[in-house]
Amino acid sequence: MRASKDEHLAIGSQIDLIVVFDHSAIEKNAHRLNDRSVVIHDSSGGELPPNSGVPEGARVIGIPFSRHAIRVFRQDIYKNSVSSAVIGRLIGLRDDDMHQSFEKRFGRRGAQALEYNLDALKLGHELSDEAGLTADNGLYEIVGADPHPQMLITGNEAVAFGFMVAGGRFFVGYPITPSTDIMEWLEKWLPKFGGIVRQVEDELSVVNMAIGAALTGTRTMVATSGPGLSLMQEGIGQLGMAEIPLVIVDSQRSGPSTGMPTKPEQSDINLLVYGGHGDFPRVVLAPSTPEECFGITVTACNLAEQYQVPVFIALDQGLSQNLATIEPIDPQQVEINRGDRLDADALAAMKTYKRYAFTENGVSAFAPAGTPGGMSLVTGNEHDEFGQVSTDARNRIRMMHKRQTKLRTMQPDLPSAITHGSDTADVGLIGVGMTYGVIIEALEILDDRGISAQYHQPRTLWPMLDETPEFTRCTGCTIVVEYNATGQLARLIAAHGGDESNIHSILGFDGVPLRAHELVQRVIEILDSRRHKVA
């Protein structure tokens, strides 16, 4: 957990307070400790060994949490509540406030659970007294402030909220980490607004049921991760051929195959942009904050129906599941665009309804299935304007051009990039998703060290907008920060007009989020390497 009066959407470079129940956790995290850190460890099995890696000067406190929990409560799990009391003392929380928090958290679990956890909290305070820990000599002083409403929300929850507010009324999914939270949030809330959530047996069923729902004119969304997205590819091709609107959320995780389900990665970019057989238009959007998760989901719903294409939202495990405090989202600001739809009256006024009529912008007016007078054919084969299967060469060329034309006509409606920092800086960074917070923080550290830098944050990955390749040609050094082993975002930018000779990559694929100071060091190494080459 990271707490600050200012917004920080990245994990801190150093650990001020660490609580561990086994000594191996110290060894794993010792490199992030400093001589001001406080280390609380479970001393039930003995004190820390001399070679534990704790820096000299760090404050080490040993308390036998497990021994007390088992002796008093007969269950080791209560060491969590016991240690919470110690943590509260160290970070400056008042005992009464912790007591109220426990009552709120455990009261709904029944009288016995509440009683045991309150007793564990009391025991923790007694152990804190024995160790000489009081709120007065903790790490921080917590002072009052003028309260105002805020939201504590994850990226997944913001996506689900955005879908519901945008008029989404059908969601179908299959549980897969780290996207499952979206389905669980919607299961609770969407039925209250007339929506339906369905959990089915696999991702093949997910995409095919979604296709059926979208054909009825219902705003529909699915959410998955890499393995599930792989299974959906045939259905996604059907979306492209039959021009069916669908929003597909991909919460990326470490791969390939099962990979590391709980660890972040951004290695599905190629799959999102190029996945599926044949050529068909699609949109790939990339939010980087919870607020953007909400807003871009609304945009995705609109784009899918306006242009009758699949629209992907590229999340990653960090953005999906990290909690953040944000200003309240105002649903009243949402605008809904359902695209060119035909009702029974409009169809009655038409001489002939052609579902796939050739148009200047590539989009054909759509009558949802069941609309009187709106009968049409839906097929995965190439077809003519009525939906009749066709292998005619001239029709094939016209239909391919029709569908691809959407990529050009939609560009004014696509979310543009945001530039942070000095827009005249010679050093430029590019990144999306969970790289946002660490890059923003790195800009501040670089500035303190006399290095001016700017951050180009794309929000549309496909179709690639000219602004991103242009950015690589306007800076002296462009560094793309991403979580994969092959530089998929950097290669995508270079392939579509970026200055490949000016693009450098900082890659992470070990499942561990970058820290700001680590990123700064790697940026400096790239800059030094470039200077040496020039010399």
DSSP 139-188: S-----------EEE-HHHHHHHHHHHTT--EEEE---TTTHHHHHHHHH
In this prediction, residue 136 carries a pLDDT of 73
pTM of the model: 0.92
In this prediction, residue 142 carries a pLDDT of 79
**CATH fold for the domain made of 152-333:** Rossmann fold (3.40.50)
In this prediction, residue 535 carries a pLDDT of 62
Give per-residue pLDDT as tens, 75-90.
Answer: 999 999 999 999 999 9
Structure tokens at 505: 């990559």
CATH number of 418-534: 3.40.50.920
**φ/ψ (deg, to 5) at 126:** -65, -40
Q: Are 363 and 372 in contact (CB under 8 A)?
A: no
Q: Where are the beta strands (DSSP E) in 57-133?
A: 59-63
Which strands, in side-by-side order, build the sheet including 503-507?
A: 418-421, 453-457, 427-430, 477-482, 503-507
In this prediction, residue 46 carries a pLDDT of 87
In this prediction, residue 28 carries a pLDDT of 86
Give per-residue pLDDT as tens, 352-411.
Answer: 999 999 999 999 999 999 999 999 999 999 999 999 999 999 999 999 999 999 999 999
β-pairing, 283-285 vs 460-462, is antiparallel
Work out the number of other CB atoms within 10 angstroms of the CB of residue 139.
14
Question: In which residue are the tokens 């529909």 written?
Answer: 220
Task: Sketch the domain layout of the chain as residue ranges.
Answer: 17-137, 152-333, 340-397, 418-534
Same fold, 17-137 and 418-534: no
Tell me the torsion sign for CA atoms 505, 510, 514, 519. negative
Q: Which residues contact 151 (CB under 8 A, 6 or more apart)?
A: 290, 325, 326, 327, 328, 329
Structure tokens at 49: 């060994």
Q: Please name the helix (run of DSSP H) or strand (run of DSSP E) that holds residue 198, with its range, or none.
A: strand 196-199
**CATH fold for the domain made of 17-137:** Pyruvate-ferredoxin Oxidoreductase; domain 3 (3.40.920)
Low-confidence ranges of the chain (pLDDT < 70): 534-535
CA 239 to chain CA centroid, Å, is 24
Task: Give the Cα separation of 325 and 487 in Å (integer).
Answer: 31
Nearest 5 degrees, angle CA 244-CA 249-CA 252? 140
